[in-house]
Amino acid sequence: MGLQAARESESRFEAYVQELASVIGHKDREEPLRDYSRGLLTASGRKSVEPLAAVTAPAEVSAKHQSLLHFVGKAPWSDSEVLSKVRELVLPAIETHGPVEAWIIDDTGFPKKGKHSVGVARQYCGQLGKQDNCQNAVSLSIANHHASLPIGYRMYLPEEWADDEERRKKAGVPTDITFKTKPEIALELIGQACTAGVHRGMVLADAGYGSDTGFRDEVTALGFQYVMGIGPNATVWAPGTAPLPPKEWTGKGRRSTRLRRDEEHQPAAVKALALSLPEDAWQITGVRLRDGGGWNSGFYTAA
């Protein structure tokens, strides 16, 4: 990078941080915000506060370490307001390459060895590909073919944390934070983005969300189409079939609104249904994500 390009990059960075500073409250938070952001871009390896302090203030690491710790852990700025400001600044640049096409729901695990950081529990960690001590966060990103942008981000608080008053108080978990499943958190993030008027796209999610029937139903009720992973044993009604209507009420007993099923009239597991279809009944309608060798290694629909 030449000197002129470096100066222009520095100028854009300063302008960006200045905009973010407008939503974090007190003026004295502007410097730690700038240092924290600069540290994230320049520090190698772990992005904890200590290495960030070392690269932004090598002559006074201890003082900068305390300043950044206070900024991250104590200063009461709103993460939702900062994310809204980021969306306001970044989304127009993304949309110069085309409209938003997808809303992506996902969760991310952060390995943690200790037990005192908020939300740390033995749970599945995507970074490690196994169950281990970690924190998890649910995110909502919007994307087109050019870029993606996280616009919603919230930590998942396991039940063992949500129900432990002493642990919550010691870690500073707000009293209004209660246990919510990851799909419930995702629906709240989607609802907030709808309220903010974000341009809509197809909702994408893996089987951790797609296997939740209630989640799919709520996404549909919000007016979205979706592509989500589901487990092979999820059941569906094959084309041309549907649940039987409720039995006619005779006037005696409780009126039933439950749909009937019988041994000859049952939904089918999606894997069994897919494998039963002839090869020419399928057509590729999306981008193959991986060569898994299985029937679910890409996006397919019945022709």
pLDDT in tens, 255-271: 555 555 555 578 888 88
Most confident range (mean pLDDT) of 33-47, 176-190, 254-268 is: 176-190
Domain-ending residue, one of 191, 213, 229: 229
Amino acid 171: pLDDT: 86
Domain boundary among 22, 54, 77: 77
- CATH code of the domain in which 118 resides: 3.30.420
Does residue 260 share a domain with residue 278?
yes
Q: Can you give the pLDDT at residue 296?
A: 38
pLDDT in the model for residue 252: 63
**Residues 282 and 164 reside in one and the same domain:** no
Number of compact structural domains in the chain: 3
Which residues pair with residue 260 across a beta bridge?
A: 244
Task: Note whether 213 and 86 are same-domain residues.
Answer: yes
Residues 14 and 26 in one domain: yes
Domain co-membership, 116 together with 190: yes
Domain's final residue, options 178, 211, 229: 229
Q: Are residues 85 and 172 in the same domain?
A: yes
Quote the mean pLDDT of the chain.
85
Q: What is the pLDDT of residue 247?
A: 64
pLDDT confidence tier of residue 291, bands split at 50, 70 and 90:
very low
pLDDT of residue 43: 84
Mean pLDDT (whole number) for 116-130: 89
Mean pLDDT of 29-46: 89
The pLDDT confidence band at residue 3, using thresholds 50, 70 and 90, is confident
Per-residue confidence (pLDDT) for residue 284, from 0 to 100:
53
Q: Tell me, rounded to whole angstroms, the distance of Cα 185 from its chain centroid.
A: 9
Split at pLDDT 50, 70, 90, the class of 303 is very low
The average pLDDT across 288-299 equals: 39
pLDDT > 70: what percent of the chain? 86
Tell whether 141 and 225 lie within a shared domain: yes
Q: Are residues 174 and 248 in the same domain?
A: no
Are 140 and 244 members of one domain?
no
Claim to verify: residue 93 and residue 190 sit in the same structural domain? yes
Check whether 293 has a pLDDT greater than 90.
no
Same domain for 221 and 98?
A: yes
Structural domain that includes position 96: 79-229
CB-count burial class (<10 Å; 0-12, 13-18, 19+) for 255: exposed
Residues 251 and 276 in one domain: yes
Is the pLDDT score of 225 beyond 50?
A: yes
